[in-house]
Amino acid sequence: MQDFDFTGRRILVTGAANGFGEAMADLLHAAGATLVLADVEVEPLAQVAARCGAEMQVYDQADPESIERLVAAAGEIDTLIGNAGILVAKPLLETSFEEMRRVIDVDLVGALRLMQLVGAGMVARKHGVILLIGSQTAFSGGENRAVYAAAKAAISQLTKSAAVEWGPHGVRVLCLAPGRALTRMSRETVKEGRSGDRGLARVPLGRWGTAQEIAKLAMILVSDAAAYVAGETLVADGGYVVG
Ligand SMILES: NC(=O)c1ccc[n+]([C@@H]2O[C@H](COP(=O)([O-])OP(=O)(O)OC[C@H]3O[C@@H](n4cnc5c(N)ncnc54)[C@H](O)[C@@H]3O)[C@@H](O)[C@H]2O)c1
**159-189 tens-digit pLDDT:** 999 999 999 999 999 999 999 998 988 877 7
Tell me how far apart the alpha carbons of residues 205 and 239 are, in angstroms, rounded to a whole number: 7
Contacts of 147 (CB under 8 A, 6+ apart): 88, 92, 95, 99, 100, 103, 104
Reported as a single tens digit per residue, the pLDDT across 191-222 is: 656 554 567 888 999 999 999 999 999 999 99
Reported as a single tens digit per residue, the pLDDT across 59-82 is: 999 999 999 999 999 999 999 999
**Contact (CB, 8 A) for 3 and 225:** yes
Interval between CA 84 and ligand 1 midpoint (Å): 5
Tell me how far apart the alpha carbons of residues 154 and 140 are, in angstroms, rounded to a whole number: 14
Integer-rounded Cα Rg, in Å, for the chain is 17
Tell me how far apart the alpha carbons of residues 113 and 3 are, in angstroms, rounded to a whole number: 29
What's the predicted TM-score (pTM) here?
0.97
Sequence-ordered alpha helix ranges (H) in 75-131: 97-103, 111-125
Tell me how far apart the alpha carbons of residues 58 and 205 are, in angstroms, rounded to a whole number: 37
The percent of residues in the chain predicted with pLDDT above 70, rounded, is 96
- When pLDDT is cut at 50, 70 and 90, the band that residue 16 belongs to is very high
Measured from the CA of 136, which atom of ligand 1 is nearest?
6
What are phi and psi for residue 12, nearest 5 degrees?
Answer: -95, 120
Interval between CA 85 and ligand 1 midpoint (Å): 4
SS3 121: helix
H or E element at residue 74: helix 64-74
Measured from the CA of 20, which atom of ligand 1 is nearest?
16
pLDDT of residue 186: 81
Tell me how far apart the alpha carbons of residues 102 and 62 are, in angstroms, rounded to a whole number: 7
**Contact (CB, 8 A) for 214 and 236:** yes
Q: Is the CB of 40 under 6 A from ligand 1?
A: yes
Catalytic residue flag (residue 59): no
Is the pLDDT assigned to residue 1 strictly greater than 90? no
Q: Is the CB of 183 under 6 A from ligand 1?
A: yes
Interval between CA 185 and ligand 1 midpoint (Å): 7
Q: Is the CB of 18 under 6 A from ligand 1?
A: yes
CA distances from 184 to 103, 139, 228 (A): 17, 22, 33
Q: Is the CB of 84 under 6 A from ligand 1?
A: yes
Interval between CA 168 and ligand 1 midpoint (Å): 31
Q: Whose CA is nearest to atom 42 of ligand 1?
A: 85
Structural domains of the chain sorted by starting position, each given as residue range(s) with its CATH number in brackets: 2-234 (3.40.50.720)
